[in-house]
Structure 1
Amino acid sequence: MKASENNVAQTLRMTSSGFTLIELMVTIAVLAIIVSIAAPSISTQLANQRVKSTTATLENALKEAKVESVIRRQNLILSYDNTRTPKIITITAPDSKTIANYSYNVESTIKPDTPVTIVFEPSKRVSTVRTYTICDSNANATTRQIEVNRVANITSKLGGTC
C-alpha cells in the first residue's frame, strides 16, 4: 500500500512543477502594461531634474559673479550661450579674462535665448534687472525662473513660459 502512495505523490510532483507558456505570456503582458504606464512619468521626472540642475548651476554662477566682483573690486560679466555644445555659463573680467566656467545640460535652455550678459558691480549692484527662465526639451517639464533685482538679490521660483 505504501508503494502506490509514493508512486502517486511522485507523479503529482513531476506534473505540477514549472510554469505553462500561457502563464508566462500573461505575466509578461501585465509587466508590459505597467511599464508603458510608468514610462512617461519617468521621462517627465528626468526632465524636471535637468531643469532643477540647470537652475542650480545658473544660480551658483550668478552668486559667484556677485561675490567675486566685490572681492576683486571690479565689474564682472556673466554670459551664457545656448547654441554651443557643451552649453557653458562664463564669468569674465573686463579685460576678457575668464574667471569661471559652468556647463549645463544640453537638453536645457536658458531664456532669453540670445546671448545675454549681466554685469555685476563691486557695489553689489547689477547693470540691469534680469529674469531668466529655464526650460527643457521635454515640453512636460516644469519650468523655473531666476530673478536678479537691481541690488543683485538672486531668487529662484517655479513658473515661466518657454
Structure 2
Amino acid sequence: MNASTNNLPLTLRITNSGFTLIELMVTIAVLAIIVGIAAPSINTQLANQRVKSTTATLANALKEARVESVIRRQEIEVSYDDESHTIMIKVDNGSNEDEIATYQYNAKSIIDGDDDIKFKPNKTADDETYTICDSNEAASPREITVSKLGNVNTQLGGSC
C-alpha cells in the first residue's frame, strides 16, 4: 500500500491531504439546516417538561396537604401565587396561618384554577380541577383533578 502512494507525483500527494473550503462550507450549511429543523422540536420538548414538572409539584403539594390535614386533624389550605410562582401549604390556627411548606414552580408555567383549595380532617376536600399550561402554546397541557374525597389525579388534556 505504501509503495503505490510513493509512486504518485508530489503534487497529487499534497492536494489529497485535508478538506477544501467548499467541502467545509457544505458541511456547515448542512449542519445549520439540521439545527434549524431540530430547534422548534427541542423548544416544545422543554415546554412539555416544564408543564410536567409543575404538574408534579402541584400534585405532590396537594397530596401532602391531604395527609397533613388527617395527621394534624385540622383544615389545611393549598394556594398558589402566579406572580411569585409559589405553591403554599398553610394551616389555619384561628387568628394566624402557619405555613407548612412552600414550593417554587417555573415562571413560564401557568396554573389555571381556583387560587386555593382546602383539605378537611375527615378526608374530604373541595372539588377542583387545575389546568397547567406553558407560555409556549405548542406544549401539551395537563390537568389535576381533586375529588370530594380528596383524591388527586393527573392526566393529559385541558385547554389553555
Q: TM over 0.5, yes or no?
A: yes
Q: Which runs of 5+ in 1 are unaligned?
A: none
Alignment correspondent of 2:30 = 30
Write the distance in 1 (CA, Å) between the matches of 2:9 and 2:63.
76
Match of 1:157 in 2: 155
C-alpha separation between the residues in 2 aligned to 1:103 and 1:8?
69
1:70 — aligned with what? 70
Displacement of 1:15 in angstroms is 1.5
Query: What is the rounded CA distance, in whole Å, between the counterparts of 1:122 and 1:90 in structure 2?
Result: 18
Q: CA deviation at 1:83?
A: 1.6
Shift of 1:9: 4.6
Mark the runs of 5 or more structure 2 residues left unpaired by the alignment.
none
Describe the superposition over 1:39-62 as per-residue Cα deviations: whole angstroms up to 9, x where unpaired: 000000000000000000000000
- Offset from partner CA, 1:117-146 (integer Å, 9 cap, x none): 1110011101x2100000000000000000
How many residues get paired? Answer: 153
Residue 7 (structure 1) shift = 6.4
Aligned-pair identity (%):
61
TM superposition outliers: structure 1 runs of 4+ over 4 Å: none
1:1-162 pair list within 5 angstroms: 6=6, 8-84=8-84, 87-95=85-93, 96-112=97-113, 116-126=115-125, 128-162=126-160
| C-alpha deviation, 1:8, in angstroms | 3.2
Cα deviations across residues 48-94 of structure 1 (Å, max 9, x unaligned)? 0000000000000000000001001100010001122xx11000010
Shift of 1:116: 1.1
Report the RMSD for the aligned CA atoms in angstroms: 1.4
CA distance in 1, matches of 2:7, 2:61: 78
Structure 2 Cα separation of the partners of residues 76 and 83 of structure 1: 22
Provide the rounded CA distance (Å) in 1 between the counterparts of 2:110 and 2:78.
16
Report the 3-state secondary structure (helix = DSSP H, G, I; strand = E; otherwise coil) of the residue aligned with 1:125. Answer: coil
Q: Name the CA distance, whole Å, in 2 between partners of 1:122 and 1:28.
A: 64
Cα displacement (A) at 1:10: 3.9
